[in-house]
Amino acid sequence: MLRFTAPLRNYPSHSEVMDIAPCAPKRRSETNPVYLDYPPRSFPSPVTASAPRASALLTKLSAFGQLDVNEIEVLNLLSRNAKPMRSEQMLIHEGSPTSSIYLIVSGLACRYKMLCDGRRQILGYLLPGDLCDIHFAIANKPDHSVALIGDSSVAQIPISRITELMLRYPRISRALTLASLVDSVILREWLLSVGQRDAMQKLCHFFCEMAVRLEAVGGINDDGSFELPVNQVTLADTLGLTPVHINRTLQRLRNEGLIRLCQRRLAILDRERLATIAGFDGAYLQLGLAAG
Amino acid sequence: MLRFTAPLRNYPSHSEVMDIAPCAPKRRSETNPVYLDYPPRSFPSPVTASAPRASALLTKLSAFGQLDVNEIEVLNLLSRNAKPMRSEQMLIHEGSPTSSIYLIVSGLACRYKMLCDGRRQILGYLLPGDLCDIHFAIANKPDHSVALIGDSSVAQIPISRITELMLRYPRISRALTLASLVDSVILREWLLSVGQRDAMQKLCHFFCEMAVRLEAVGGINDDGSFELPVNQVTLADTLGLTPVHINRTLQRLRNEGLIRLCQRRLAILDRERLATIAGFDGAYLQLGLAAG
DNA sequence: CGGCGCCTTGATCGGAATCAATGCTTGTGG
DNA sequence: CCACAAGCATTGATTCCGATCAAGGCGCCG
């Protein structure tokens, strides 16, 4: 197996323009909801572009095949009694058995593992419509933790309920299985990213993935931007880099006019070029269509 | 989330002893079967410590729960018509639909993905008893490739056969599901490794994992060593490092008297210390026992 | 005001990559 | 049988990406 010397260090550039303010930390009230960071009193109503009709879960599962009215009803019911929860809230503790699984209705969560020396690797993100691992139902000892990033609304569902659904509605069962297949496809793509891509490519790839996945559940604003309540430390833990290096890489991206990341909101300004840098395809997220 | 500064750079050492020859490349006939590397005529009968009675598949699945005589019979049948195949043989091509899945009966295979610039990331190893993803059955477009590493014997099984088995034998179905859960647990552990551990830890962790997994299917010799037909380039692609750096790290391991890696055979000389360096627990591979 | 979370920046370090060459071994073909 | 090529392990010299260390700044709270 040859390994070609990879020249692509100098990413397609645009350096003439530097119009994008690097997230000017001074002026506030730029545009969007001030994101309350830690222990504030008021609770911001969970903002997702598509709150109203179809739950994100339904939107997501529908991509895997037609569902009938009954099934749609049942799925929407799951999101009904979602509760607001604070950022940092843990849903699953590595090693501690759970008897329920969680559905992210709006907001963001992540899976992660920690090393004994305190290093952390984030293993994946849970977006609206994502269920945190049906498989915890079987393997009673979760091998990793799940925690919220940013305030979210989450429905807690007894495992028995899911089991029941899967028995009664084969099409839901199939869709859930396919969804968890996509999860492992994503996981493999991450391993590729963390193992082989450089900092710039990692960041671009991550942003592309989030954009596509959020788009699928209607989490993208009209102006093309979306909520991404991750700080630079979290990004570092996601991509296997240090916060400092994330910071510098982000600045390059901003200076190149590729993104705007500000107030926990990301706007991808040049999706095309971002994808080129990352070598992002997106087909890997399309299992739904492929198998549908 | 604090991140403690990790001091542990100097691994527990043993440097007095340097008795282990660093794989003396000069003298041959050390001990074991000369490994034929590329297109030779003769085919070495696949060597696995436990060829005779129980197939590796059975051994593996039994760990997830009792099976009856029928089920045992059926499982053993699957390995029956395995065919010898050469190293480098591809079983699955990323993107090309398959209509069958493969069972590794003896030998070694790996999953991997490639970047367009030629970089490769190995995503996991398939040991005797491992099935290369039941899920390809559903997602017709595999998202990664699978190829043999070292000559192996492999049984090709039509998807229909597997589907049938899973319908007819719930306990087999359950065991297969659990097995694929373990696969994703391993995948997550790899992401942690590639993302957060340093070269020495990565290597140690990988060796520990392989030892434990091989042990479970009887792939370990009486002297504690086992076949590991990976070269340094492959190791590099596994751990996200370069071959040169793998080489140097291996030498440290040898000089410390921790391992002996020679002629595609690995002997772990100090499992305890290897595990300590790696922060290896092994519990994550034990889902079988936990849920059994 | 003071503390804290988070982002930013500069200086410096270091682990791993890269470049390059050598040598052993095995297989091939004349 | 020998010359030659290819695959692989090894080694030294050098480079560099990203880590580490350290300090400062802004904005938000209590």
Does residue B37 reach within 7 angstroms of strand D, measured from its CB? yes
Contacts of B239 in chain A (CB under 8 A): 195
Distances from the Cα of B149 to the Cαs of A169, B4, B80, B90, in angstroms? 42, 39, 21, 9
| A120 half-sphere exposure, CB direction, 13 A CA radius | 21
> Which pLDDT does position A11 carry in this prediction?
63
| Distance of alpha carbon B210 from alpha carbon B150, whole angstroms | 15
Q: Cα dist. A54→A46, A64, A83, B271 in Å? A: 16, 15, 17, 54
Nucleotide nearest to B88 (CA to C1'): D7
Which residues, 6+ apart, have CB-to-CB distance to A254 below 8 Å? A20, A22, A23, A260, A261
**Residue from A2, A5, A136, A143 whose CB has the most chain B CBs within 10 Å, to mutate:** A143
Q: What is the DSSP letter of A51?
A: -
Return the residue of B nearest to A174 by Cα: B138
Rounded-to-integer distance, Cα A236 and Cα A203, Å: 10
What is the average pLDDT score of chain A?
Answer: 83
Q: How confident is the model at residue A290 (pLDDT cuts 50, 70, 90)?
A: low
The residue whose two tokens read 């490092």 is B241
Report the alpha-carbon distance of residue B15 to residue A157 in Å, rounded: 55
Report the residue from B143, B191, B279 with minimal CB separation from A115: B279
Task: Note the pLDDT of residue B141.
Answer: 85
Residue A118 to residue B192, Cβ atoms within 8 A: no
Which of A1, A121, A188 shows the shortest C-beta gap to B196? A121
pLDDT band at residue A262 using 50, 70 and 90 as cut-offs: confident
Q: How many CB atoms lie within 10 A of CB A165?
A: 18
**C4 C1': nearest CA residue:** A38
**Per-residue pLDDT reduced to its tens digit, B235-286:** 999 999 999 999 999 999 999 999 999 889 999 999 999 999 999 999 999 8
**CB–CB of A120 and B3 under 8 A?**
yes
Under 8 Å CB-to-CB from A181, ≥6 apart: which residues? A287, B135, B138, B139
What are φ and ψ of residue A22, in 5° steps?
A: -70, 55
The answer to whether A120 contacts B194, with C-beta atoms less than 8 Å apart, is: no
List the helix and strand counts (H, then E) for chain A. 9, 10
Summarize pLDDT for B83-113 with one digit per residue, the tens.
Answer: 999 999 999 999 898 889 999 999 999 999 9
Q: Which of B117, B145, B206 should we substitute to test contact with A (largest number of A Cβ atoms within 10 Å)?
A: B117
Cβ atoms of B1 and A233 closer than 8 Å: yes
Q: Which token pair is A41?
A: 């009193």
* A287 contacts in chain B (CB < 8 Å): 139, 141
- pLDDT over threshold 70, residue A28: no
* Cα gap B267→B228, rounded to integer Å: 10
Q: Indicate the SS3 state at residue A90.
A: strand
Instruction: Considering only the beta carbons, identify the residue of A116, A118, A290 that sits closest to B140.
Output: A290
Q: What pLDDT does residue B91 have?
A: 95
For the entire predicted model, the pTM comes to: 0.86
What is the per-residue pLDDT across A112-129, written as a single tens digit (0 to 9) for each? 999 999 999 999 999 999
* Cβ of A57 less than 7 A from strand D: no
Residue carrying the six token digits 């596994």: B238
| Residues B150, B108: Cα–Cα separation, whole Å | 6
The per-residue pLDDT for A44 is: 40
Secondary structure element (H or E) that encloses residue B147, with its range: strand B145-148
Residue numbers in A 162-201, CB below 7 Å of strand D: 198-200
Q: Please answer whether residues A186 and A124 qualify as being in contact, where contact means their C-beta atoms are separated by less than 8 angstroms.
A: yes
Mean pLDDT for chain B overall: 83
**Mean pLDDT of the region A170-189:** 95
Residue B288 pLDDT greater than 70, yes or no: no
Give buried/exposed letters for A31-46 (b at 16+ CB in 10 A, else e). Answer: eeeeeeeeeeeeeeeb
Tokens of B106: 């003896």
Task: Measure the CA–CA gap between A91 and A145, rounded to whole angstroms.
Answer: 8
Length reported for chain A: 292
CA separation for the pair B67, B58 (Å, rounded)? 9
A210 versus A12: the higher-pLDDT residue is A210
Query: Whats the size of chain B, residue-wise?
Result: 292
Q: How far is the CA of B48 from the C1' of D2 (A)?
A: 38
Please give the backbone phi and psi of residue B216, each rounded to the nearest 5 degrees, phi first. Answer: -65, -25
Judged by CB atoms closer than 8 Å, whether chains meet at B121 and A191 is answered as yes
The pLDDT of residue A37 is above 60: no
Alpha-carbon span A170 to A182, nearest angstrom: 18
Task: Calculate mean pLDDT across residues B132-148.
Answer: 84
Amino acid at A5: T
Say whether pLDDT at A255 is over 60: yes
Chain D: nucleotides below 7 Å from protein CB are 7-13, 17-22, 26-30
B252: enclosing H helix or E strand:
helix B243-255
Per the CB < 8 A criterion, the answer to whether A146 and A109 are in contact is yes
**What residues of B are in contact with residue A121 (Cβ under 8 Å)?**
191-192, 195-196
| Interatomic distance A252 CA / D17 C1' (Å) | 15
CB contact under 8 A, A196 and B123: no
Residues 227-246 of A with CB under 7 A from strand C: 231-233, 243-244
pLDDT of residue B85: 95
Tokens of A169: 């509605």
pLDDT above 50: residue A197:
yes
Please tell me the predicted confidence (pLDDT) of residue A10.
Answer: 55
Residue pointed to by tokens 């069958």: B100
Interchain contact A1–B (C-beta under 8 A): yes
CB contact under 8 A, A187 and B189: no
How many other CB atoms are there within 10 angstroms of residue B215's CB atom? 14
Q: B6 contacts in A (CB within 8 Å)?
A: 117-119
